[in-house]
Amino acid sequence: MNEEQRLASQQVKQPKPEKDYSSYFERVVTAAPSLKDAKKRGKEEVKYHKDFAIDEEFLGMGQGRKFYIRTYGCQMNEHDSEVMAGIFTQLGYEPTHLIEEADVVLLNTCAIRENAENKVFGELGFLVKYKRKNPEMLIGVCGCMSQEESVVNKILTTYQHVDMVFGTHNIHRLPHILKEAYMSKEMVIEVWSKEGDVIESLPKQRNGAIKAWVNIMYGCDKFCTYCIVPYTRGKERSRRPDEIIQEVRDLAAQGYQEIMLLGQNVNAYGKDFADIEYRLGDLMDELRKIDIPRIRFTTSHPRDFDDHLIEVLAKKGNLVEHIHLPVQSGSNDILKIMARKYTREHFLDLVRKIKAAIPDVALTTDIIVGYPNETEEQFQETIDLYREVGFETAFTYIYSPREGTPAAKMQDNVPLEVKKERLQRLNAVVEEFSSAALKKYEGEIVEVLVEGSSKKRDDVLAGYTRRNKLVNFAGPQELVGQIVKVKILEAKSYSLRGEFVEIVNRHEVEV
Ligand code: 5AD
Ligand code: SF4
CA distance 394 to 420: 16
pLDDT tens per residue, range 291-322: 999 999 999 999 999 999 999 999 999 999 99
CB count, 10 Å around CB of 376?
10
Cα of 221 from ligand 2 centre, angstroms = 8
Cα of 355 from ligand 2 centre, angstroms = 24
Ligand 1 environment, Cβ below 6 A: 112-113, 226-227, 326, 328, 366, 368, 397, 399-400, 402
Instruction: Out of 2.160.10.10, 2.40.50.140, 3.30.43.10, 3.40.190.10, select the CATH number for domain 445-506.
Output: 2.40.50.140
pLDDT tens per residue, range 181-201: 999 878 999 999 877 889 998
Q: What's the mean pLDDT in 33-38?
A: 80
Residue 22, pLDDT score: 45
Identify which of 74, 113, 301, 342 to mutate to test ligand 2's pocket (most ligand atoms within 8 A of the CB).
301
Longest dimension (CA), the chain: 68
Number of the ligand 1 atom closest to the C-alpha atom of 112: 7
Does the pLDDT of residue 5 top 50, yes or no? no
Cα of 129 from ligand 1 centre, angstroms = 33
Residue 153, pLDDT score: 94
Residue numbers in the known binding site for [4Fe-4S] cluster are 74, 110, 144, 220, 224, 227
Does the pLDDT of residue 100 top 80, yes or no? yes
Q: What's the mean pLDDT in 411-430?
A: 97
Under CATH, what is the fold of the domain 198-439?
pyruvate-formate lyase- activating enzyme (3.80.30)
Which neighbouring-strand residues pair with 36? Answer: none
φ/ψ of 258, rounded to 5, equals -145, 140
Instruction: Out of 3.40.50.12160, 3.20.20.80, 3.40.630.30, 3.40.190.10, select the CATH number for domain 22-190.
Output: 3.40.50.12160
Q: What is the 3-state secondary structure (H, E, C) of 71-96?
A: ECCCHHHHHHHHHHHHHHHHCCCEEC
Residue numbers in the known binding site are 74, 110, 144, 220, 224, 227
Residue 15, pLDDT score: 34
pLDDT band at residue 129, thresholds of 50, 70 and 90? very high
Residue 221, pLDDT score: 94
Helix (H, G, I), strand (E, B) or coil at 385: helix
Identify which of 227, 366, 405 to mutate to test ligand 2's pocket (most ligand atoms within 8 A of the CB).
227
Does the pLDDT of residue 206 top 90, yes or no? yes
E-assigned strand segments in 307-442: 322-324, 362-369, 393-398
Does the pLDDT of residue 21 top 60, yes or no? no
Q: How far is CA 202 from CA 49, 56, 86, 90, 497, in A?
A: 10, 15, 8, 10, 40
pLDDT tens per residue, range 461-505: 999 999 999 999 999 999 999 999 999 999 999 999 999 999 997
Q: Which string of DSSP letters, residue by residue, matches 395-432?
A: EEEE----TTSGGGGB-----HHHHHHHHHHHHHHHHH
Percent of the residues in the chain that have a pLDDT greater than 90, as a whole number: 85
Residue 25, pLDDT score: 43
pLDDT band at residue 44, thresholds of 50, 70 and 90? low
Domain parsing of the chain, residue ranges = 22-190, 198-439, 445-506
What's the mean pLDDT when you consider all of the chain?
A: 92
pLDDT band at residue 12, thresholds of 50, 70 and 90? very low
Residue 7, pLDDT score: 36
Residue 506, pLDDT score: 63
Ligand 2 environment, Cβ below 6 A: 220, 222-224, 227, 229-230, 264-265, 301
Residue 27, pLDDT score: 65
Residue 11, pLDDT score: 34
Q: What's the mean pLDDT in 117-145?
A: 96
Amino acid at position 507, single letter: H
pLDDT band at residue 80, thresholds of 50, 70 and 90? very high
Ligand nearest to the CA of 340: 2
Residue 13, pLDDT score: 33
Helix (H) or strand (E) holding 246: helix 241-253
φ/ψ of 111, rounded to 5, equals -115, 10
Q: What's the mean pLDDT in 372-380?
A: 98
Helix (H, G, I), strand (E, B) or coil at 450: strand
pLDDT tens per residue, range 234-292: 999 999 999 999 999 999 999 999 999 999 999 999 999 999 999 999 999 999 999 99
Residue 473, pLDDT score: 97
Residue 425, pLDDT score: 98
Cα of 446 from ligand 2 centre, angstroms = 33
pTM, two decimal places: 0.92
